Amino acid sequence: MHKLNVLIAGSTGYIGIQLIKLLSKHKKVSIKYLCGKSSVGKKISYFDKSFNSKSLPNIIKFNKSLLKSVDLIFTALPNGEAQVISKYLLKKNVLIDLAADFRLENIKNYLKWYKQKHKAVTNIKNSIYALPELNLNKIKKFNIISCPGCYPTSILLPLIPLIKKKIINQQNIIIDSKSGYSGAGRGVHKKYAKKNLYDSLSAYGVGFHRHNSEIDQEISRVTKSKYNFIFTPHLTPMFRGILTTIYVETKNKISFKEIHNHLSKYYKNKIFVKVLKKNSLISTNDVINTNKCYISVCKTRYKNKYVILSVIDNLIKGGSGQAIQNMNIRFNFKESEGLK
């Protein structure tokens, strides 16, 4: 059986490590190259002792000549670097980016939110924002696949079906998300050294977090009506996981049961999204180490106001697992291959 030859650029970060762990067990993948910068020459086991370095290549510096011998490139790099790699792609190459390089279609928005000019503008039209449960059929047509951010994944999965159906008031959506500190990358330990990262809860990016741009873009795809939302992210003293709480109001006397039924029906045949029984209290622990998103719809003491909860593992459904899910779709593998 032919296996996909894969290159992973940015292999030593939290996302890169998780990606290697999952791909190492994928029956249809062969990890040919691991690439890095400061880590060049080291074994991947230096960064995670659970790896058997004999079965994995040593870390090397990326060179465009490597693209000749691979089918697929995963990039888990700082923003801007996948754009450069995209210029070297051969016709046979597929690029799956886990950073923000191709998430935004508007280059002005990219400059506004990421404070840098886009280096591969002509490739934007060749890319897709790939949240599998919402645009599965389109993914197969693209060779540059952009994986959503972890926060938007947890937010858009419960929110988009309700906005498309015009079930909720779009003028007053409040989103509160809490993430494990791995979502901020390895540099988080230095950045939050004076804030007692491991014993405290920290709000950040209030009103202006970069992921606002993704949420905006994807909501505007499904509605012509005016909308507004407030999104506040928090870092928590846990390593992984995201719990998102969304506060919504219903329109036109739509009932609690209707909201729940619509979400349940929408995701009925989606293997990685599960809508739980009404008023279920959910925890990040329910989905850790899986590619699943759990959603719960809960009542409040007011008739037309409801709380929607969603939980994901930010390193898997919010990162490496979703990237592999997109790979499976793009190459006509079973969608759950390597993700059970």
Reply yes or no on whether the pLDDT at 41 is more than 60.
yes
Count of other CB atoms within 10 angstroms of residue 305: 14
Q: How far is it, in rounded angstroms, from Cα 310 to Cα 330? A: 26
Question: In the Cβ-directed half-sphere of 16, how many Cα atoms lie within 13 Å?
Answer: 28
pTM of the model: 0.95
Q: Which of 59, 72, 65, 58 shows the shortest CA–CA distance to 29?
A: 72
Of all residues in the chain, what percent carry a pLDDT higher than 70? 98
Q: Using pLDDT thresholds of 50, 70 and 90, give the confidence band for residue 86.
A: very high
pLDDT at 69: 97
Q: Which of 10, 208, 222, 214 shows the shortest CA–CA distance to 103?
A: 214
Q: Which long-range contacts (CB under 8 A, 24 or more apart) does 39-43 make?
A: 39/11, 39/12
Of all residues in the chain, what percent carry a pLDDT higher than 90? 84
Reply yes or no on whether the pLDDT at 1 is more than 70.
no
All structural domains of the chain, each given as residue ranges with its CATH number in brackets, are: 4-147+318-330 (3.40.50.720), 151-314 (3.30.360.10)
Residue type (1 letter), 152: P
Conformation bin of residue 21: beta by default, left when phi > 0, alpha when psi is -120 to 50? alpha
Task: Give pLDDT tens digits for 70-81.
Answer: 999 999 999 999
Q: How far is it, in rounded angstroms, from Cα 2 to Cα 159? A: 39
Helix (H, G, I), strand (E, B), or coil: what is residue 129? Answer: strand
Among 49-53, 155-159, 162-166, 234-238, which stretch is predicted with the lowest mean pLDDT? 49-53
pLDDT at 186: 76
Within 8 A by CB and 6+ apart from 161, the residues are 262, 263, 266, 267
Give catalytic status of residue 293 as yes or no.
no
Q: How far is it, in rounded angstroms, from Cα 98 to Cα 146? A: 7
Q: How far is it, in rounded angstroms, from Cα 267 to Cα 131? A: 13
8 A C-beta contact, residue 282 and residue 294: yes
Q: Using pLDDT thresholds of 50, 70 and 90, give the confidence band for residue 52.
A: confident
Catalytic residue among 35, 150, 293, 298: 150
pLDDT at 278: 97
Q: Using pLDDT thresholds of 50, 70 and 90, give the confidence band for residue 206.
A: very high
What's the whole-number mean pLDDT along residues 298-310?
95
pLDDT at 40: 92
Question: Whole-number mean pLDDT of the chain?
Answer: 94
pLDDT at 107: 95
Task: Give pLDDT tens digits for 247-298.
Answer: 999 977 889 999 999 999 999 999 999 999 999 999 999 999 999 999 999 9
Reply yes or no on whether the pLDDT at 99 is more than 70.
yes
What's the whole-number mean pLDDT along residues 43-51?
88
Measured in whole angstroms, the distance separating CA 96 from the mean position of its chain's CA atoms is: 12
Instruction: Write out the H or E segment, with its range, that includes residue 236.
Output: strand 229-236
Reply yes or no on whether the pLDDT at 26 is more than 60.
yes
Q: Which of 36, 35, 145, 147 shows the shortest CA–CA distance to 98?
A: 147
Phi, psi of 109 (to 5 degrees): -65, -35
